Amino acid sequence: MKDGFGREIDYLRVSLTDRCNLRCVYCMPMHGLTFVPNPELLSADELEKVVRAAVEVGFKKIRLTGGEPTLRQDVVDIVERFHRIDGIEQVVMTTNGYRLPYIADDLARAGLTRVNIHVDSLNKETISKIMRLGSFDKAWAGIEAAEKAGLTPIKLNAVITRGYNDDAAVEMSRLTLTKPWQIRFIELMPFAGPTEIQLEHYVSSDEVKSRIERELGPLFDVNGGELEGEARVYRLAGAEGTVGFISPVSNSYCDGCNRLRLTADGRVRLCLLSDKEIDFRATLRHGGTHQDLVELFKRAIRTKPVGHQLKNGVFAENRTMSQIGG
């Protein structure tokens, strides 16, 4: 179904939990965040009902996210339920990868197409600084497990954050010379939630790209300037893999936005960077029917904002990234 600005909305990002085993500086505070109590999270049955309604209005792709989606004990069951729904073409996941060595094979068997793994550096000390409870060895084991299970092509996500991992982009891009991976650098986004990091730590994609090119040579445009999803994609000469830039702040992709987000507590969020949400859980838990959920999706699509308002100083106020589902 198209929204009021002619965009076909067919991609739903589903947050399974707001909890995480890490505490990345730009995403979650180290202490003091309260989590949604388990009974308030959507159950696997409720999630399936929401996705069945989403399919009816034209959604085709589901991304599981969080918080850390693999912390849900029933994550494999959820993948399998979504994969079986007629009309769903892809179920993918964004994860920090730490639990993949234990569950990657099961996820692949259940129908997961592939994973994006988040790691902000290849350097152990830098990872401890920026991802705080993070460990390079665990991230790497997760990447290897994903490859072995066929959850490919592998995409790695890093948020370049001034004063934390400024130099990570060069080493990570060098990996693409020998690995068929896509390494994507995401611009830091400001959230008014209780994270310690805000706009002064932002580094633009242009700055990251220049730094990579200074050290490793030119990056050649792969898609003639067209976006691949939300990323602009390039390749170093002779490289096996590619380098992507996701630039929501410096070069917003709102014009082509095709997504809605379902938070772990059952709200559909109309734009990552706006607080507008529609409460699906209330409908689910007060006897709402399949058709009621379909109507809520239609309302969500009809009222999706044209784009974010960061340039006018309007930030999302009510949730951190981990509470939205990045």
Question: Which range touches ligand SAM (CB under 6 A), out of 41-49, 88-96, 231-239, 293-301?
Answer: 88-96
Query: Closest separation between CB of residue 68 and ligand SF4, Å?
Result: 5
The distance of Cα 263 from the centroid of its chain, to the nearest Å, equals 12
Query: Of the candidates 24, 122, 203, 239, which one interacts with ligand SF4 according to CB under 6 A?
Result: 24
> In the complex with ligand SAM, which residue's Cβ is closer, 72 or 304?
72
> Does residue number 189 form part of the binding site for ligand SF4 (CB under 6 A)?
no
Query: Of the candidates 28, 108, 154, 172, which one interacts with ligand SF4 according to CB under 6 A?
Result: 28
Return the residues of window 254-313 that contact ligand SAM according to CB under 6 A: none
Using an 8 Å Cβ cutoff, are 261 and 272 in contact?
A: yes
- Interacting residues of 293 by C-beta distance below 8 A, sequence separation 6+: 49, 50, 52, 53, 280, 283, 284
Give me the residue whose beta carbon is nearest to ligand SAM.
326
Q: Which does 188 bind (CB under 5 to 8 A by kind): ligand SAM, ligand SF4, none?
A: ligand SAM
The DSSP call for residue 260 is E
Q: What are phi and psi of 22, to 5 degrees?
A: -115, 180
> Does residue number 316 form part of the binding site for ligand SAM (CB under 6 A)?
no
> Does residue number 66 form part of the binding site for ligand SF4 (CB under 6 A)?
yes
Beta strands in the chain (DSSP E): 11-15, 61-65, 90-95, 114-118, 155-159, 182-186, 219-221, 231-236, 242-246, 259-262, 267-269, 277-279
Site string for ligand SAM, 18-47 (x = CB under 6 A): --x-----xx--------------------
Query: Of the candidates 62, 72, 75, 95, which one interacts with ligand SAM according to CB under 6 A?
Result: 95
d(CA 216, CA 210): 10
d(CA 60, CA 24): 30
Using an 8 Å Cβ cutoff, are 97 and 46 in contact?
A: no
Count of residues of this chain found to bind ligand SAM when the rule CB under 6 A is applied: 19
d(CA 34, CA 19): 9
Query: Of the candidates 182, 322, 323, 324, which one interacts with ligand SF4 according to CB under 6 A?
Result: 322
| Other beta carbons less than 10 A from residue 147's beta carbon | 18
> Does residue number 22 form part of the binding site for ligand SF4 (CB under 6 A)?
yes
Q: Which does 23 bind (CB under 5 to 8 A by kind): ligand SF4, ligand SAM, none?
A: ligand SF4
Q: What are phi and psi of 275, to 5 degrees?
A: -85, 5
Query: Closest separation between CB of residue 141 and ligand SF4, Å?
Result: 15
Q: Six-digit token pair at 99?
A: 């639990």
Note the residues at the interface with ligand SF4 (CB under 6 A).
20, 22-24, 27-28, 66-68, 96, 118, 131, 321-322
Binding site for ligand SAM (CB under 6 A): 20, 26-27, 65-66, 68, 94-96, 118, 157, 159, 186, 188-189, 191, 321-322, 326
